[in-house]
Amino acid sequence: MKEKIVLENITSEITYEESKLKSFHKLNSAKTSFRVYRDEQVGIHCQVGKISEEEGFQKAEANLELRPRPYAFELETGVRSRNKTERELTDKELMDTAEECMEYLRGKYPQFVYKATFEQARQCVCQTNEKGMNYSNTDCCVNVNISFKHVNSKDIVDGYFSFSLRDFDKNVFFKMADDFLANFEVEVELPEEIIIDMQYYGLLGKLSESLNGECLALGISLLSDKIGEKIFSEDFTLLHDVSDEECWFNRFWDGDGCVTENDKRVFIDKGVVVTGYADKKTAKKYSIPHTGNAYTDMADIPGAGGVNFRIERSTKTIKELLNGRCCVIPVMMSGGGFADNGDYTMPVHTSLLFDGEKVLGKLPPFTMVSSMFDMFGKDFIGVGSDKPIYNDKQILFRVGKGNII
C-alpha cells in the first residue's frame, strides 16, 4: 500500500534595519514523503525538491527492505479539501504595504529606530494513499514583526510587537503601533494586584506535556492519577481545535491520517481533566483512549503530539474581565519558564500598563511568579471575547511579584 505527503511553501520576506529597507527574499520550497506499507512495516523516503513519483516510491520500497519502521495500523480513508486563504498579496503589494507601515512609524514616532520583517507565507499540504485518502489544506497569511529602540537607549532592543493576518489591514498595524509606542516613554508604577494580559501559546507547553498520554500512563505527568478530577478553574476549558481560525497552517487531520469529530476534542472541561492525548501507537501500547493526536514527521512514523490547543473564550471583553482594574502587558521577558513541578517564574524586563482600552505607560522590571496549577486555577480570570493590543487571543491571570533576576 502506497501513500504520499506533499508539503509546499512559498514565502516572500521584506526586512528593514535601522528603519531602512534592507532586503527582499522569496523562497519556494517543496518536500515530499513517499511511504510503502507492508506486513505492519513501512519504508519511507523523504525528498526535498523535485523527484518523480516513480523514483520516490522506488526509494521508499528500498528503505522498506533496508530500514523498515514498525507501523501496525490500517491506513485512513476520506476526501476533504480546505482553503483558509482570504487574500494573497502580490510581491509589489507586500512591498508597498510594508513601506506604508514603516513610513507611519518613521513619521509619527521618529524617536525610535526600527528593525522589521514583513513576511507573506503560503503553505499547502496534501496527503493521498491507495486506500482512498485525499486530504489537502491550504493557508496564507502575512506575519509582521517589529522591534524598536529609543534613539537614546543603550539597550539593543527596548520593545517588540508582532501579529499575523490572513487579510492584511494596515489599520490594525497603525493601532498596534500606537498601543505600544504612544506612551512608551511615560513611566508608571506597578499595581499592587498584578494581572497579566498576554498571548497564551507560550504558557501551554507544560500543560501540553502533562496531558501527553504516554506520560500519564507511565505516572510521570503532573496530572497522573488526576483524570476526572477538578484541578483547574471552573472557567477554564481546554480543547484541541483544528477549526480555529486564529491558528495558522493547522491541518484538519493528524499524522496517522485521523480526523477528529467536528474538528474538536475537549481535554479539560470547566477545570476537570477529561483525558490525555494519544496517537494510534501510544493508545495501543498503553491501552488508553485514542484521541487522534499524532504529529507528522515527513521522514519517520508519527508519534503522540499534533495538538492545536485553544482555551475556551469568555463572553466578556478584556475590559469587562478587568472590572475597573489595570493589567500588565509583558513586552520583553526572558530567562525563566516552568520548573519540573509546574512552578513558573519569568523576569519581565519591559512591560506596559493597560486599562482594557488604552496603554497608560511603561512599568519597571519585575519577575512573574506563578505555577501551572495557579495560572489556570485560582488565579485564572479568563480569555477575553475581544482582541485588544495583540490582535490575538489573550489570557488574563494573577501572578505574584518577585525581584528582577
- pLDDT per residue over 31-45, tens digit each? 999 999 999 999 999
Beta strands in 104-213 (DSSP E): 112-129, 134-150, 159-165, 194-199
Q: How many domains, in total, are found in the chain?
A: 3
Same domain, 155 and 226: no
Q: What is the pLDDT of residue 248?
A: 85
Task: Output the pLDDT for position 375.
Answer: 98
**Do 290 and 346 sit in the same domain of this protein?**
no
Residues 42 and 164 reside in one and the same domain:
yes
Task: Please identify, among 250, 284, 311, the residue that sits at the C-terminal boundary of a domain.
Answer: 311
Residue 176 placed within a domain: no
Measure CA 46 to chain center: 25
94 lies in some domain: yes
Same domain, 327 and 299: no
Residue 193, H or E segment = none
Same domain, 67 and 154: yes
What's the domain range around 304?
222-311
Q: Can you give the pLDDT at residue 405?
A: 53
What would the grid cell of residue 165 be?
A: 493576518
pTM here is 0.94
- Whether residue 319 is contained in a domain is answered as yes
139 and 9 within one domain: yes
d(CA 42, CA 220): 31
The string of pLDDT tens digits covering residues 123-151 is 999 999 999 999 999 999 999 999 999 99
Q: What distance in Å separates the CA atoms of residue 232 and residue 377, rounded to the nearest whole number?
A: 4
Dig out the grid coordinates for 225 from the structure.
492519577
**CA-to-CA distance for 278 and 291, rounded, in angstroms?**
5
Q: Specify the DSSP class assigned to residue 319.
A: H
Does a structural domain hold residue 184? no
Residue showing cell 528500498: 62
Q: Which helix (H) or strand (E) holds 4?
A: strand 2-17
Task: Give the integer Cα–Cα distance in Å for 235 and 288.
Answer: 27
Whether 188 is in a domain gets the answer no
Is 286 exposed, middle or buried, given 0-12, 13-18 or 19+ CB atoms closer than 10 A? Answer: middle
Distance CA 239, CA 256 (A): 19
pLDDT < 50 positions in the chain: none
**Are the C-beta atoms of 294 and 306 separated by less than 8 Å?**
yes
Same domain, 19 and 158: yes
- 163: domain CATH number? 3.30.2290.10
What distance in Å separates the CA atoms of residue 92 and residue 298, rounded to the nearest whole number? 33
Single-letter amino acid, residue 231: I
**How many CB atoms lie under 10 A from the CB of residue 96?**
12
And the C-alpha cell for 116?
522589521
Q: What is the pLDDT of residue 404?
A: 62
| Whether residues 303 and 323 fall in one domain | no
> Are 8 and 145 in the same domain?
yes
Classify residue 177: in a domain, yes or no. no
Contacts for 343 with CB less than 8 Å, ≥ 6 apart: 370, 371
Residues 263, 129 share a domain: no
**Does residue 329 share a domain with residue 275?**
no
Q: How confident is the model over 57-111, as pLDDT tens digits?
A: 999 999 999 999 999 999 999 999 999 999 999 999 999 999 999 999 999 999 9
Check whether residue 46 and residue 143 sit in a common domain. Answer: yes
Domain final residue, candidates 258, 286, 311: 311
pLDDT value of position 247: 82
